[in-house]
Structure 1
């Protein structure tokens, strides 16, 4: 099953990938050089951290080396933020181990349960967050396991052990941050600007294809909207690292948040315009003034013409029906088309102005682009509590099962196996089908164990000083950095990084005892295998199940919208729905009706926006019309509740009659701005609930 890579927990933002389906040889060569340089910088940081740890007498300096590779990022701001998140999480986790181990060490069952539940709770929080900040919760969870379980035999020394781990990890963070900051750093703000330009191009391509005459094939539209939704998600993940960038003042955060929301609005707006054009065509009502206006809008988008598009907006407003008398259905659809088209023009113009405003001091016309207060807040992502609970349960059960085996067998290296399996489960249990990724980690662990054995017993005995040792280790550590440089190779690298430094004997003193090495290597491999078995036993969610889960989450939120009496938060609704589309995207090739699922999520997005418009319009109408709206909301609520049960959103006859009656009564109101807003909301609901009308 095609599960998404663990983007938010172990991966990082990368240079923008080529839009070409197959990169040419020059691009591949350039990417290879970038990966090699990244690996060399990380290698230098690892040796520096190892040297400092040895000089100050830390017992297990290999944790500094592991930290350098885990924290290393191609972008400077991402590296600093991940290092800070890791340090905070490590301190919290070490503190929890200090609290639990001395108090529960005499009751192994309670200690095991406490640490397992703590790791499960931290995994739950991290799975809900789904941003790079989730690294704090993740590290707080498995740092307690790393410090706690190996200390059960010496609970009196746990404070020293915890302090040593924090020192080793802190040294690794400082060294890797320093090296990557000094050697040709790559600032996040530049990547944000490059990604934003690509997103603007994708947004304009989506609008152009949606307004095309004749309409572009659905496959083209589907590719455009999927790319736009994914690009917006990537931009949001990049922006989390922006405050930690060495030149963070280059980007104005308020403008960045606002342009994100403007670009998010383009998906439902362009889809609504496309729908209204098709509805008018079916009734032979797509007349010459409308076609000329749409063609001029497409030409304005293609030319990226200066100005704010006001002439085109004024033309759209001038073509709207006057609403002085009740209008027929065709005129109401025409009104909806022109209103959405005007909003589309304004949104494109605002996005362009905000993009020019992003760099302070840049000369740009329209630098006074308005920023809506609701657009500047933090982007809200979808939270899947069921998936997070499953991830937490799998991780907790893995620790409990591993500790039970450790206690029963009294295996001296059982703690190593438990720690290894706990880390892997915490990293990957949030995926819909985690077994495939965990299996690659397992293969990386086996490869690292073999390489570490060769290094520890063939090469390292010949190393007589630190320089020679570095030369011996360089090929292996360079390979680790190369594996971690790309998301498709990262799982192998994670398994190798967690195993190689410790097994190779990068301690304060060289041991050279094969029995100790063999026990630790077997523990690492068995721990990885146990994680694979547990994650495989947890029933993976197939593509259809994922699509249904995401759809039901949207319908639950629509139910809440029908019950809402306060001011609706439309930006939050758009953000969460687009995030669900991003989560659905990797599973679409495995769905028989993938195109329908994607269109349905976009339809749900427009329904939610229409409900918000209905809520706002309801505050400016009479009592009689308010009763009709309350009845309509009740019918809509029943429709969305029914959809959660049967898995399909269908408008029943009672809802259709109520919607038609509400629309007919609104059509009889005197011409006011409130009437116009109400009609637009009702037409939007009607077109999305029964597009055949």
Structure 2
């Protein structure tokens, strides 16, 4: 009897467990989003409480700053907070300087303010990630302070400039600090591990692709498919950039060694370039010759690299990246010292070595992220910034300048009391979206929709909920905010579609400024709707500016980036010094838009290989007194005469082939002939990169 009861109990337990398992999965999935919503609420509540306690004049800016800084990832929140503080201080100083320069001149002051906003938009478009955010903030902090300094028709109150700048900066920094305290105390971050996993997966995928290309011995029928795979890998490498910035925000060690991570990304690009060159050359060789060359290379590789990594290799790389790094390091010397008998084999060996060297750099970054005790000594080094294209930044600057001037003019002409706030939010949205190159109008429209939804929500809170509370203490007010902010934060963390993220971000950012909490709370309907309509109108003006002066289209930007690279390639052929050629082109490759640029991305990879070949051949010609013959080929390249360039390169190749010298000299000559092959194969394509019609 007892046994049957126990058996029945076990069956009931198993049945109940099976029924509750889906619910458990739902609760587990809902946990992180709900926790983020609670963090958002706590950050805003703490900021407002501190601002009320300090009796600051506009405490809502503290709460709004906490909401803006609060991000789903800890690294993003902390790093954004530091850059927000920097941007706030710069913007406050700039506003005081502008007031000092134009104390009684309304129109020059507004033009100077618009010029400062345009300069900040220019910097925000050139910079990346949170540095870009700091530049945007420097612009709209000045607009926030200016909007409070100016009267109903834009009259400058110079006497209050300094104290108001200090007050607004204090309110904003207070919100940043409160959000940082809440987030740092409730979230230990996970971006570092996530970034390490992504780098390990990318390194493994590139290794698998290169090993597969060598194992097949030819890329002839598969070359188009390989190009598609390589373009997708390039996109994934580009996507590492914001995650690296978040990881830097989580750890001071990673911040110190940030150039190591940048070299890891450049190494992945170099590996892709080397793989692209190997696949491209194998596709042009006869099948037998391609198989023979690939077999020779495989024999000189460590056993671990002769085939694609096994499933689960990324996990082992994460556990012991330094050990894997040594495998790639040992693969490079045999390839570079390989006694090749043909320029084709020399080219394939050098490009394979280049790819493995790039992956080794990526593994250096991986060892840093997982804190492998066996990692090699890392040197921080320095990054050399390169601007891929100046035009998008100029467009952003012109749009921001025109928007601030137009809204300011409307404000002065109409005498609208909310004009200053409308100008402020027009500047905020325009500057925040300035770095974005795609779908900016849609994002600005989402800000308007979010503002309208916030208007309805805050109207209910202000005139239906708060006046009916039995107590007017901060605890009751905070609970009401929690009812609004916790669901918004939960939905933001759970959002997957871009429009969902944009709409919910706009609502979390606009809720506190539209609510405008004060101590004690006031219930002036006319003032509330004037403030709310000014905020929505400013967002609408920003949306209109993106409609009238949109960012450059992805197709146009892709063509410009390619045209600029080909211009530099021509200058390189002409003899101009192009220091750090590879970093320059890799920067443009990283800036290439994801949409509408598959051909241009492949051509950039080719241009990078050709430019590196020109650099090598120029040094080779100087060493071995072949400058005249190679100079004639470069002159033809610079003029866009592909046929003449091929003839001169063929002559140089024949001269190098006929010479007999020592073993080292032979390998140097073969390496030079291999680089001649890289250029010649590019020139023999139906649409050469050096066609005379390409813009210079």
Matching of residue 511 in structure 1 with residue 501 in structure 2: no
Which of 464, 469, 473 in structure 1 is aligned with 2:481?
473
| Paired residues of 1:50 and 1:65 also in contact (CA < 8 A) | yes
Identify the range of structure 1 (402-411 vs 300-309) with the bigger mean alpha-carbon deviation. Answer: 300-309
What does residue range 199-238 of structure 1 map to in structure 2 within 5 Å?
199-211=202-214, 213=216, 215=219, 217=222, 220-238=225-243
Instruction: Determine the C-alpha separation between the residues in 1 that align with 2:175 and 2:631.
Output: 60
Instruction: Determine the C-alpha separation between the residues in 2 that align with 1:399 and 1:190.
Output: 42
Structure 1 residues 315 and 124, CA gap change in structure 2 (3 angstroms): closer
What does residue range 221-300 of structure 1 map to in structure 2 within 5 Å?
221-246=226-251, 248=253, 252-253=257-258, 255-281=260-286, 284-288=288-292, 290-291=294-295, 293-294=297-298, 299-300=306-307
1:653 is matched with: 643
Q: Deviations over 1:145-168 (max 9, x none)?
A: 110122113432222221111111
Q: CA deviation at 1:432?
A: 4.4
| Paired residues of 1:123 and 1:392 also in contact (CA < 8 A) | yes
Structure 1 residues 32 and 204, CA gap change in structure 2 (3 angstroms): farther
What does residue range 540-689 of structure 1 map to in structure 2 within 5 Å?
540-564=551-575, 568-580=579-591, 583-585=592-594, 587-588=595-596, 595-622=598-625, 625-639=626-640, 652-671=642-661, 672=665, 673-689=667-683
Instruction: Determine the C-alpha separation between the residues in 2 that align with 1:232 and 1:191.
Output: 14
Structure 1 residues 499 and 41, CA gap change in structure 2 (3 angstroms): closer
Q: CA deviation at 1:99?
A: 2.0
Instruction: Determine the C-alpha separation between the residues in 2 that align with 1:653 and 1:28.
Output: 66
SS at match of 1:133: helix
Q: Deviations over 1:153-205 (max 9, x none)?
A: 34322222211111111111111111111113205433332332232233234
1:194 is matched with: 197
Identify the range of structure 1 (448-457 vs 75-84) with the bigger mean alpha-carbon deviation. Answer: 75-84
| Paired residues of 1:280 and 1:334 also in contact (CA < 8 A) | no
What's the Cα RMSD here?
Answer: 3.2
Matching of residue 124 in structure 1 with residue 129 in structure 2: no
Structure 1 residues 616 and 291, CA gap change in structure 2 (3 angstroms): same
Instruction: Determine the C-alpha separation between the residues in 2 that align with 1:259 and 1:271.
Output: 18
Larger radius of gyration: 2
Q: CA deviation at 1:68?
A: 1.1
Instruction: Determine the C-alpha separation between the residues in 2 that align with 1:677 and 1:207.
Output: 21
Instruction: Determine the C-alpha separation between the residues in 2 that align with 1:457 and 1:508.
Output: 16
| Paired residues of 2:633 and 2:644 also in contact (CA < 8 A) | no
Q: CA deviation at 1:33?
A: 3.1
Instruction: Determine the C-alpha separation between the residues in 2 that align with 1:26 and 1:618.
Output: 70
2:453 is matched with: 447
| Paired residues of 1:255 and 1:355 also in contact (CA < 8 A) | no
1:308 is matched with: 327
Instruction: Determine the C-alpha separation between the residues in 1 that align with 2:83 and 2:337.
Output: 54
1:101 is matched with: 99
Which of 496, 509, 531 in structure 1 is aligned with 2:507?
496
Identify the range of structure 1 (114-123 vs 90-99) with the bigger mean alpha-carbon deviation. Answer: 90-99
Which of 133, 136, 152 in structure 1 is aligned with 2:134?
136
Identify the range of structure 1 (394-403 vs 559-568) with the bigger mean alpha-carbon deviation. Answer: 559-568
SS at match of 2:416: coil
| Paired residues of 2:61 and 2:168 also in contact (CA < 8 A) | yes
1:456 is matched with: 462
Instruction: Determine the C-alpha separation between the residues in 2 that align with 1:112 and 1:572.
Output: 40
Q: Deviations over 1:231-286 (max 9, x none)?
A: 3333333334545434636995464344333222111100111111111136x422
1:185 is matched with: 188
Matching of residue 434 in structure 1 with residue 435 in structure 2: no
Identify the range of structure 1 (58-67 vs 655-664) with the bigger mean alpha-carbon deviation. Answer: 655-664
TM-score w.r.t. length of structure 2: 0.83
1:3 is matched with: none
Instruction: Determine the C-alpha separation between the residues in 2 that align with 1:112 and 1:557.
Output: 40
1:12 is matched with: none
Q: CA deviation at 1:294?
A: 4.4
Q: CA deviation at 1:25?
A: 11
Q: CA deviation at 1:433?
A: 4.5
What does residue range 398-413 of structure 1 map to in structure 2 within 5 Å?
398-413=403-418
Instruction: Determine the C-alpha separation between the residues in 2 that align with 1:155 and 1:66.
Output: 26
SS at match of 1:157: helix
Structure 1 residues 26 and 402, CA gap change in structure 2 (3 angstroms): farther
What does residue range 62-81 of structure 1 map to in structure 2 within 5 Å?
62-81=60-79
| Paired residues of 2:254 and 2:369 also in contact (CA < 8 A) | no
Q: Deviations over 1:595-623 (max 9, x none)?
A: 4333222212222222232233234221x
Q: CA deviation at 1:290?
A: 3.0
Q: CA deviation at 1:444?
A: 0.9
Instruction: Determine the C-alpha separation between the residues in 2 that align with 1:567 and 1:533.
Output: 41
Structure 1 residues 255 and 401, CA gap change in structure 2 (3 angstroms): closer
Instruction: Determine the C-alpha separation between the residues in 1 that align with 2:623 and 2:252.
Output: 47
Q: Deviations over 1:356-378 (max 9, x none)?
A: 46544524xxx448x7x8x9432
2:154 is matched with: none
What number of residue pairs does the alignment pair up? Answer: 634
1:20 is matched with: none
What does residue range 336-415 of structure 1 map to in structure 2 within 5 Å?
336-348=347-359, 351-352=362-363, 355-356=366-367, 359-360=370-371, 362-363=373-374, 367-368=375-376, 376-378=381-383, 380=385, 382-415=387-420
1:335 is matched with: 346
| Paired residues of 1:60 and 1:508 also in contact (CA < 8 A) | no
Q: CA deviation at 1:210?
A: 4.1
| Paired residues of 1:187 and 1:247 also in contact (CA < 8 A) | no
Find runs of 4+ consecutive structure 1 residues off by over 6 angstroms. 24-29
SS at match of 2:289: coil
Structure 1 residues 559 and 34, CA gap change in structure 2 (3 angstroms): farther
2:174 is matched with: 171
| Paired residues of 2:514 and 2:535 also in contact (CA < 8 A) | no
Structure 1 residues 528 and 259, CA gap change in structure 2 (3 angstroms): closer
Instruction: Determine the C-alpha separation between the residues in 2 that align with 1:292 and 1:410.
Output: 80
1:56 is matched with: 54
Instruction: Determine the C-alpha separation between the residues in 2 that align with 1:382 and 1:27.
Output: 47
Q: CA deviation at 1:116?
A: 0.2
| Paired residues of 1:36 and 1:482 also in contact (CA < 8 A) | yes
Structure 1 residues 540 and 280, CA gap change in structure 2 (3 angstroms): same
Instruction: Determine the C-alpha separation between the residues in 2 that align with 1:182 and 1:382.
Output: 38
Q: CA deviation at 1:491?
A: 2.3
Structure 1 residues 120 and 340, CA gap change in structure 2 (3 angstroms): same
Instruction: Determine the C-alpha separation between the residues in 1 that align with 2:39 and 2:276.
Output: 46
| Paired residues of 2:206 and 2:271 also in contact (CA < 8 A) | yes
Q: CA deviation at 1:469?
A: 0.8
Instruction: Determine the C-alpha separation between the residues in 1 that align with 2:353 and 2:486.
Output: 55
